[in-house]
Structure 1
């Protein structure tokens, strides 16, 4: 629903027998509307890009690997994985919010998440890398994280 439905809702792409069964049995189907034509067109275009844009996928993978390596070297705690949405763990909700605010002051938009969105004690900042980012932008983001973390530490220990 979010990835291809444009947050407008989801859909099922399946053999006709499965679609027929869901139409008869799935409660959400009874209370739903069809997707807007522009959502369907956008979905088809997105699927075409997924099939043909190998260079973009490769660049996205490189950006995620670079970000993860640089952040780990800088001493940040990341949830493991290869995904380009990278949770930078802080644990403390106030700390995560202050670092996110400091990042914004440095021109890097990130979002802090804390309870009840994530489990208590697992506050984090979520970074979303893109295939359009350059290695220099990834480095600038890491530099902003380091500077923000250090600035927040200085104000909390002073």
Structure 2
């Protein structure tokens, strides 16, 4: 199971009379992707829980100027670096999976029965078996792509190939 996480951005949220910042977290689990939003306090709580079970990477400090865009960007970079350090720990602690809500991604990867596991791809383009062997003269210019393919396949130019 491959888990990749990055924190590309943040945004301000106004809910009722409360204004706060959320960080957008890109979570990739074995090819499946989801974006979740987490507040700094949620990251802080995760950090406290992780400190109990492992040596944690540096965590970005809380600052007074929490609405300053420059401070928020520094915090985003710090949270991203923190998470990269956490993911280096093998195996990834279960509280990290809970925090990242990877159970939703895991559920989307489970198949209920064997029938669902069969390949369902359909051909997009089909060609007649002899499509490249027909001589369709629609204009007076030679078809250099067709001739090049024939030369590559048969090692000799076709009789109508002009060099």
Q: TM-score, normalised by structure 1?
A: 0.28
Of structures 1 and 2, the larger Rg is shown by: 2
Give the number of the structure whose residues are more often strand, by fraction.
Answer: 2
Structure with bigger helix share is: 1
Larger RCO: 1 or 2 (CA < 8 Å, sep 6+): 1
